[in-house]
Amino acid sequence: MTCALSIAENFREMSKKDQAPRNTAGGTLRKGEDEILRVNEVFYSLQGESTYTGFPCVFVRLAECNLRCTYCDTEYAFYQWTEMSVSEILQKVNSFCCPLVEVTGGEPLLQSGVYSLMRRLIRDGKKVLLETGGHVDIAPVPPEATVILDLKTPGSKMERHNLWSNLDILKPTDQVKFVVCNREDYEWARDVIRQGKLDQRFLVLISPVYGSNLAQLAEWILQDHLKVRFQIQLHKWIWGPNRRGV
């Protein structure tokens, strides 16, 4: 893949032309002064991805998403939810006595109350991970949270929605993830990493779609000497690809 524009210019031009709608879930409801979120599930499991793979973690999966990735494994979160106040979510999270919490989705940043939730989790002494699809502005995310930004590859069919300016906001402690479906996705990710020097700025994760040829992807990474972390979705290998709440 070659680009006539510099990587930064190219990213910004793509963002101007076609950005996904933001915050389509609308305003956050309130119960008194406590914000209400649409929550798909809150559960305790092992962290299956990122540098925290294998650690016990509480997951807060928020509902709704305005992307439709071809490989999405949580479509049920688009339509199934319970309304919970931030205080109710905190009570549920704290019941597991676990210091690591991931806020995920769906797309968690579509609900404005997520920022209050993250701030209060941090105030309670939790280590907060945020997994986001990369098409919503991450500027309001509390700096104490670790962002795991999922840049959409061509195989997702959602590549055009990547908000490239988010790469200018990420902290050195944040992580960038690419889900790879095939060779085209791998080469696209490789070129984005190289052109943006992402591996010099953040930890970069490459994750194969479940069921892919793991050895083949590993060989591609080694052949190109990419400074990335190859990861699998650990929870799917432990409990299978279809089980929820893990």
Instruction: Name the CATH superfamily, with its identifier, for domain 7-239.
Output: Aldolase class I (3.20.20.70)
pLDDT digits (tens, 9 = 90+) for 8-63: 344 344 334 333 333 444 445 565 458 999 999 999 999 988 999 999 999 999 99
- The answer, yes or no, to whether residue 229 has pLDDT greater than 60, is yes
Q: Which amino acid is at 93?
A: V
pLDDT digits (tens, 9 = 90+) for 58-103: 999 999 999 999 988 888 888 899 999 999 999 999 999 999 999 9
Phi-psi region of 64 (alpha: psi -120 to 50; beta: other; left: phi over 0): left
What residue spans of the chain are helical by DSSP H?
7-17, 86-94, 114-123, 183-196, 214-223, 234-239
Q: What are the φ/ψ torsions at residue 103 (nearest 5 degrees)?
A: -100, 120
* Pairing between β-strand 100-104 and β-strand 127-132 as defined by DSSP bridges: parallel
CA 232 to chain centre: 15
Residue with tokens 């069921």: 211
DSSP 51: T
Q: What angle do CA 112, 117, 121 make, to 5 degrees?
A: 155
pTM assigned to the model: 0.85
